[in-house]
Amino acid sequence: MTMHRVRCAATLLIGASVALGTAPSAAAQTLLRGPYLQSAADSRVTLCWRTDVAANSRVRYGLDPTTLDSIVDDPASVINHVVAVTGLKPNTKYYYSIGSTTVVLAGGDAQHYFRTSPPRGRMKRGRAWVIGDSGTKDANAREVRDAYYQDSGKQHTDLWLMLGDNAYDNGRDDEYQAAVFSNMYEARLISSPLWPTYGNHDALSADSSTQSGVYYDIFRLPRNAECGGVASGTEAYYSFDWGNVHFICLDSMESGRLLGDPMLTWLESDLAANLQEWVIAFWHHPPYSKGSHDSDVESELVEMRQNAVDLLEEYGVDLILAGHSHSYERSFLIDGHRGKSASFDPLLHGKDMGDGRIDGDGAYRKPGAGMFPHEGAVYSVCGSSGKTENGSFNHKAMHVGLQELGSLVLEFYGAQLDVRFLDPQAAVRDRFTLVKGGATPVQSRSHLLLPRNSDWKFHDLGVDLKTAWRDPAYDDSAWQTGSSILGYGENYVTTVVSYGGDPNNKYITTYFRRSFELDADPLDVSALTLQADYDDGFVIYLNGTEVLRKSMPSGSISYGTLASSHEGGKYETIDLTSSIDRLVRGSNVLAVEVHQSNRRSSDLVWDCELTFDGFSPWLPSAAAGNVDRQGDIPLDVLRVNGSTGGLGRSVDVADGGAVTIDVEHPPTHSGAARFALFGWFEIPTNDDVVHLGPIGDLCFPIVWWVANNFGVGPPGLLPSNPAPWSYTEPALDGPFDFVLQGVIEETASGTLRTTNAVLVRVQ
Ligand SMILES: [Fe+2]
């Protein structure tokens, strides 16, 4: 055998050398599948790929695509490569390549990366894509895919769920190749971890009881709690954490669905151990559906509703996703319904019978900030990502029923979850919002980083500044200052810059610089948008790196480079989301060179506006990170008048009204604790607070304000035992805004941790 393999390899090597004239091993294997990401968590990910000939495996990874300085090797010679990368930092973007010890097969570029999850329990912006019954391997599936790609634009997809029937008709390996890996989802597979569940068609080529067959060969799922939750001991059903969200995947096809069966026993233990704020469960057979399948009569659907749903609602599940019916259906916020559709009683089972839209009947609100039983859940059937079938769509629990192709987008923002159903034209056909813990639902997440009509530094002396001026640390104190719009030759210009005095020989290049503050973790920024008013062309450097040029030639730009002609007077919107990585928390610098198209150009114009989508800058998560020495321990929950606010969220208090502050400890709380409350009048930054000394030395520069104004003491240290701690101030005289955040010190263990922060607006 060995001889044979060596001989084959030698033959291939000769062919490669002749054809390519390069290192002989380069063509010895071909990548047939992947890479694709599995079992991702805050410190690990598994990379999988397939080659045509057996070889060893190597993954290289690092923080920059050109510097993949960490290596994981597996010497086993295989065609189906599975490499687990562990010991990673949470919330971090890593670039990677895959191949063997002798050849790189893919990666080492900007497209091949994975991003580790936030620490468990941490609120973080996140985006998930959900497709169901997608395995048609045809134009339908591609249209649904392209609509999502259009919707997500340059935003990262943190998670990707497949709701079963992932490869028609029989779940064979060649069908999976066409339905998932080839000319289908490659672009998403390389950067977004895929979390599948098992459908009836997948079951035609696999078996859950023996963990064998195609589905179980392809997917590498956490059976040992590698990604959070309780170990299930099987890949058929499993759970994992993403930040403050707990996901549970069940097998509604072949694993026992009755109470006492291993899956349900595990489910209860997993739910009982969960400390995350959100719980989302998914499986193939929908507990509520009147689409192409009927949850009144089909046993898988009935049993999942009567048993799994019963447990999940007891533990406070928020959202349940399924497929199987080839349509889209979505319930109201409901609880406790186990019977047939006809027995659904809005008074008994409807927690909120509105549409769940912030701008409609209002978001669905669940009062508890964590898992509280029977506060309601939304059930969504999304089995139309590959084909559609008709149905009566008259299940009484359902708010929406559509025979439309599409997929679901989930967006997490701390205490808020937004869900949208996208059709193949990327139109939103249904949407709803869930909020927990009394948080204020927010619709717009666009924040202004740099407004129009700002003061800019400019250099208009007709001098070639080369490249040093692009550096954020460059000293521009000698430059002039003027409010935009800057330029000349147009009546709407606010600050006139010089063209040099000779109308036939104007300066080609004028330089502009401006700093702006980002009071948020760049990882919480989901989109970055520039609106520019310019004439004629420009190049922008963000913190020293070029991120955009308009009306300029390609190649290197010098002082004398001429622009193509472009007229100012209106703002052009430009997506800079792919440059989010260049942002830093705190001070950022835009350096802009504006070029003329010729030396006689009559006018020059520069102004821009910069906005981002993401968490509000008011409450940066790293403010919590400064003091959170137990990043894997869930936050204690701070409520102001019953509301957690959530990251980036505010609680409004009437001027002169009362404010009650509560802190609730998580189940891990070990007893005696001390509690300090601190607050800011202004937006907190990394430098503002927070130095924690040893026990007995909790102190914050601004905590005196809270203590003084709330009439409790000693300043900075408030009594907190027994939990929960609660304090009411009967009347606050506004108007003003302040941020509150608590720090808990468990006196037995010395453990320190923070609560969520809440922006209180007294007005
Ligand atoms: Fe199905």
Residue 515, token pair as written in the block: 């700093």
Least confident segment among 583-587, 691-695, 720-724, 738-742: 691-695
Residue 362, token pair as written in the block: 């209002």
* DSSP secondary structure, 160-193, as one string: EEE-S--STTT--HHHHIIIIITTTSHHHHTTS-
Query: 352 or 675: which carries more pLDDT confidence?
Result: 352
Going from the Cα of 572 to the center of ligand 1, the distance in angstroms, rounded, reads: 47
Q: What are the two backbone dihedrals, phi and then psi, of residue 99, each rounded to the nearest 5 degrees?
A: 165, -145
Does residue 35 have a cis bond before it (omega within 30 degrees)? yes
Query: 125 or 160: which carries more pLDDT confidence?
Result: 160
Average pLDDT over residues 681-701: 36
Going from the Cα of 343 to the center of ligand 1, the distance in angstroms, rounded, reads: 25
- Against a cut of 0.85, is the pTM above it? no
Average pLDDT over residues 394-401: 98
Kindly tell me if the per-residue pLDDT of 65 is higher than 60: yes
- Is the Cβ–Cβ distance between 547 and 540 less than 8 Å? yes
Average pLDDT over residues 699-728: 44
Residue for token digits 């589905």?
215
Confidence of residue 680 (pLDDT cuts 50, 70, 90): low
Question: pLDDT over 70 for what percent of the chain?
Answer: 80
Instruction: Quote the pLDDT of residue 367.
Output: 74
Cα(435)–Cα(649) distance, integer angstroms: 11
Instruction: Quote the pLDDT of residue 750.
Output: 66
Instruction: Share the mean pLDDT of the chain.
Output: 85
Going from the Cα of 166 to the center of ligand 1, the distance in angstroms, rounded, reads: 9
Tell me the three state secondary structure of residue 270: helix
Confidence of residue 747 (pLDDT cuts 50, 70, 90): low
Pairing of strands 319-322, 278-282: parallel
Give the number of other Cβ atoms within 10 Å of residue 730's Cβ: 10
Half-sphere exposure of 719 (CA within 13 A, CB side): 6
Tell me the three state secondary structure of residue 78: strand
Query: 574 or 648: which carries more pLDDT confidence?
Result: 574
- Is the Cβ–Cβ distance between 19 and 200 less than 8 Å? no
- Give CA angle at 192 (100, 180), nearest 5°: 80
Give the number of other Cβ atoms within 10 Å of residue 443's Cβ: 12
Confidence of residue 13 (pLDDT cuts 50, 70, 90): very low
Instruction: Quote the pLDDT of residue 243.
Output: 87
Going from the Cα of 326 to the center of ligand 1, the distance in angstroms, rounded, reads: 8
DSSP one-letter code for 209? T
* DSSP secondary structure, 281-336, as one string: EE-SS-SS-BSSSBTTT-HHHHHIIIIIIHHHHHTT--EEEE-SSSSEEEE-EE--
Alpha helices of 615-759 — where are they, by DSSP H? 621-627, 703-710
Instruction: Quote the pLDDT of residue 415.
Output: 78
Write down how long the chain is.
763
Going from the Cα of 221 to the center of ligand 1, the distance in angstroms, rounded, reads: 21
Cα(216)–Cα(238) distance, integer angstroms: 13
Going from the Cα of 164 to the center of ligand 1, the distance in angstroms, rounded, reads: 7
Query: 254 or 670: which carries more pLDDT confidence?
Result: 254
Kindly tell me if the per-residue pLDDT of 18 is higher than 60: no
Instruction: Quote the pLDDT of residue 659.
Output: 81
Going from the Cα of 284 to the center of ligand 1, the distance in angstroms, rounded, reads: 7
Cα(710)–Cα(727) distance, integer angstroms: 9
Instruction: Quote the pLDDT of residue 632.
Output: 39
Going from the Cα of 323 to the center of ligand 1, the distance in angstroms, rounded, reads: 7
Going from the Cα of 253 to the center of ligand 1, the distance in angstroms, rounded, reads: 9
Question: pLDDT over 90 for what percent of the chain?
Answer: 67
Cα(409)–Cα(389) distance, integer angstroms: 21
Type of residue found at 162:
M
Is 14 exposed, middle or buried (CB count within 10 Å of its CB: 0-12, 13-18, 19+)?
exposed
Residue for token digits 């992947």?
34
Going from the Cα of 363 to the center of ligand 1, the distance in angstroms, rounded, reads: 31
Residue 127, token pair as written in the block: 């985006």
DSSP one-letter code for 533? E
Instruction: Quote the pLDDT of residue 376.
Output: 97
Cα(156)–Cα(613) distance, integer angstroms: 13
Query: 48 or 21: which carries more pLDDT confidence?
Result: 48
Instruction: Quote the pLDDT of residue 627.
Output: 32
Confidence of residue 371 (pLDDT cuts 50, 70, 90): confident
In 10-103, which ranges are E strands?
A: 31-38, 45-62, 70-85, 93-99
Cα(493)–Cα(697) distance, integer angstroms: 56
Contacts of 286 (CB under 8 A, 6+ apart): 293, 295, 301, 322, 323, 324, 325, 329, 379, 381, 383
Contacts of 486 (CB under 8 A, 6+ apart): 456, 458, 493, 494, 495, 497, 512, 605, 606, 607
